[in-house]
Structure 1
Amino acid sequence: MRRLLTPLLACLALTACTGSQEDEPAPPALPAVAWEQVSLPLPEGPAGRIAVREAVACDGTWWLAGGVFVGDGSVPAGWRSDDDGRTWTSLRFAPRGYWAERAIMSSVACRGDRVVMVGAKSGGAHGNPRVTTWYQRPDGVFTDVVAPFSLFGGDQAVSVERVAAGPDSWLIAGNRTAGAAVWVADDERTFELVDDDPALIRDERLDTLAIAQVHDGAGWTVVGSGQVAGRVNRVPMAWVSPDGRTWERQQVPTSEGFTDLERVARTDDGLLAVGLRDDRFGTWRREGGTWTAAESFGRLDPDGQAFTGAGSLATAGDRALAAVSDGTAYALWGRLGDDDWREVEIPVSPTAAGEHVLTVGATDDTVLLVGDDGKTGRVWRAAWPS
């Protein structure tokens, strides 16, 4: 709002301004949201600052992934809520590996009472993220899966994104030097790398990048972008698979400018994806296997120097909320019962910088906002805005 009002105030102050106040349409009011900040207990162990990254809900239980920064180091942490996000208890972790002991949990997915987390800690000779996956033992303690270094790292590593749950499998999207890749598991402990599928990896015409994924009820969909030979700007891409192991490409409408898909979620009618389209945030919908370009919203900051894009996407029925960064700061935008996207009032707006986070999760009734400004990790809950 401050950015919107500044040009108008400057204009009123200068006699050389042309036009009148009536020429400038008033910006729409932000949907009012009764955000309630909730308290997170500091986990047992050394005192430090709480970091929060992502939350998800299954069968009435919320799971929150994060960590605690202690001095120059860090330890894994997470929280659970069984009363719709009002009160939280700390999860217990029993790391076994050197990097697991220092990991920050960046992603969490659940299916019923089964939970998988992904964590990482940068280090080693080259400072690359050392990725670990985590499962919950029968006693409720989370422990890391002991896996070969080359599963997520090694000389072919590029990136490991978030984890998602399907009805009978788990999937992590990411990238290797050969292009887009996934890690698929039928249980919480046996992730298998798929980095040689012809539809996923790059070819002589197209370099591929996978960013996010969702299970649509029948199979997996991964979204991302591609770099076409001879074209400056990237194009949006999507892939589908019945089992996470064999893939097919889908056509996604593009534009002349930079375009990609960065988050994807289920809706009543199919899938909704959010990404970048030219100098705005763009949306796409898939119904019956066909992608169409939909609404655009917001503006990218041409002077932004940090992360630009969609940090998270939450849906409930035909409603949607997207946490996005314009390159300078995070904001929350929503499609709330119609096709118009509107900025939603939030109690915090972290700058887009390292270790700064804004993500959103939702059930049919409740929205959970997870924010980290690099100094404090905090969580708010509210009913869906209207």
Structure 2
Amino acid sequence: MTLPAAVPKVLRDAVRCGSRWWVVGALQPAGGDPRPAAWDSADGRTWRSVTIMPHPGSFYGPRNVLYSVACANGRIAVIGAQSGGAHGNPRTSTWYQRPDGALAEVPAPFELYGGDEAVDVGRIVGGPGGFLIAGNRTSGPAAWLSRDGTRFVRHEVGEKGALARDGAVLDSRYFLIGAAAPASGQVAGGVVWESADGTRWARSPVEAVELQRLTMFHGNLIAVGQRGDAFAAWRRDDGKWVAVGGGDPSGGGTRAGGEDAAVGGFGRVTPTGVRSLTVAAGKLVASADRVWSSPDGGSWTEIAVPAGPVAVAGSDDALLLIGADRAWLARRAP
């Protein structure tokens, strides 16, 4: 794919929203500050640059690198950031899609995403109930919720020491996934938090080192993360989280009952973990340092790709791969 740009560009994320593809990142002129950038396309062949509209008077917005994009109810919302201030911490902005297709920066108080209690602002996800941003504060995991991307409200889980890595939005439920706070003398374990309104969160432990990415697949939520020295998948089934597939990726065999025990593993754990998870042409596709696909979440096959993956996005009949400064589209099932 050719994305129009007069200067070098960096690419960070992509999504299919309605009938269009979206790619976000930044333009990076030599020796200058980055500028937020996004591109969209109806067919994956012809791309156009999206109009970017920082909030008047914003200092960091015009210097954002857009790093996460999501779709809800036919519109996208985006997170961007730029380091700054006395300590060089990320200054986070969110952006919403206007009716004319432009991306407009949302004005927000510094303490909404930053401040003394800030740890990180991670991924944005979308669904029928709107948008959710997964991140962390010194008090533990946090979720920023919005119906339409024009205003976010922060809700904190209140589990100090735990970490949120990703989330999901259904019609009337919000989900966060990540790692629980390690108990004395023990390692952290995977955990899912679930809430109807963001104010009260119910937790479900999952037998994993950490859950890292979450998506909807064939009517069920699928979480992918680390178990042993490999990656594996878990499915939400009647309110419970059960491991998908057979065979322990660390070679330990399976347990009777199957729940959170029998796991079909893939790959080998990397420092960055699973960076992206999507559904393309009816299959799950996960990317870390490599890319794998699965028809069921239990059996995985590595996909040959032209470059190191940054992110993947899928549609009913295609897979979009984002590299550091280029993107590729495969028009059949991987």
TM norm structure 1: 0.77
State the SS of the aligned residue for 1:310.
Answer: coil
The alpha carbon displacement at 1:368 in A equals: 0.3
1:41 — aligned with what? 4
Mapping 1:226-245, distance limit 5 Å: 226-245=180-199
| 1:294-336 per-position Cα deviation (integer Å, ceiling 9, x unaligned) | 32111236xxxxx330000012586201001xxxxx2101113
Listed as ranges, the matches of 1:1-386 within 5 Å are 38-42=1-5, 47-70=6-29, 71-83=31-43, 85-96=44-55, 97-195=58-156, 200-202=157-159, 207-254=161-208, 259-294=209-244, 295-300=264-269, 307-316=271-280, 319-324=283-288, 330-336=289-295, 339-349=298-308, 358-372=310-324, 377-386=325-334
Give the length in aligned residue pairs: 312
For residues 179 and 111 of structure 1, the distance between their equivalents in structure 2, rounded to whole angstroms, comes to 26
Q: Which runs of 4+ in 1 moved over 3 A?
A: 336-339
Q: 1:108 Cα shift?
A: 1.0
Name the structure, 1 or 2, with higher relative contact order (CA <8 Å, separation 6+).
1
| Residues 1:341 and 1:87: Cα distance change in structure 2 (over 3 Å) | same
SS of the residue 2:236 aligns to: strand
Q: Which stretches in structure 1 are left out of the alignment for 5+ residues? A: 1-37, 302-306, 325-329, 350-356
On the 8 A contact 1:311/1:359 being kept in 2, the answer is: yes
Q: Distance in 1 between matches of 2:287 and 2:67?
A: 16
Unmatched runs of 5 consecutive residues or more in structure 2: 245-263
For the structure 1 residues 166 and 243, does the alpha-carbon distance in structure 2 shift closer, same or farther, using more than 3 Å as the test?
farther
Query: 1:155: Cα distance to partner?
Result: 0.4
Deviations 1:236-265 (A, max 9, x none): 0101122334321123224xxxx1000001
SS at match of 1:343: strand
Q: Which amino acid aligns with 1:152?
A: Y
Query: What is the deviation of 1:217?
Result: 4.2
Separation in structure 2 between the aligned mates of residue 346 and residue 154 of structure 1, nearest angstrom? 40
For residue 307 of structure 2, what is the amino acid of its counterpart? V
Q: Specify the alignment match of 1:14 in structure 2.
A: none
CA distance in 2, matches of 1:274, 1:58: 22
Aligned to 1:12: none
Shift of 1:337: 5.7
Aligned-partner SS, 1:143: strand
CA distance in 1: counterparts of 2:182 and 2:98, whole angstroms: 45
Deviations 1:117-151 (A, max 9, x none): 11001121111111000112344322211110000
SS at match of 2:206: coil
Larger deviation, residues 339-348 vs 133-142: 133-142
Q: Is the contact between residue 335 and residue 342 of structure 1 (CA under 8 Å) also seen in structure 2?
A: yes
Per the alignment, do residues 188 and 269 of structure 1 end up closer, same or farther by CA in structure 2, a change over 3 Å counting? closer
Partner amino acid, structure 2, of 1:224: G
- Structure 2 partner of 1:15: none
| Paired residue type of 1:241 | S
The alpha-carbon distance between structure 1 residues 59 and 140, as it changes in their structure 2 partners (threshold 3 A), is closer
Work out whether residues 287 and 312 of structure 2, in 8 Å CA contact, stay in contact via their aligned partners in 1: yes
Tell which structure's C-alpha radius of gyration is larger: 1
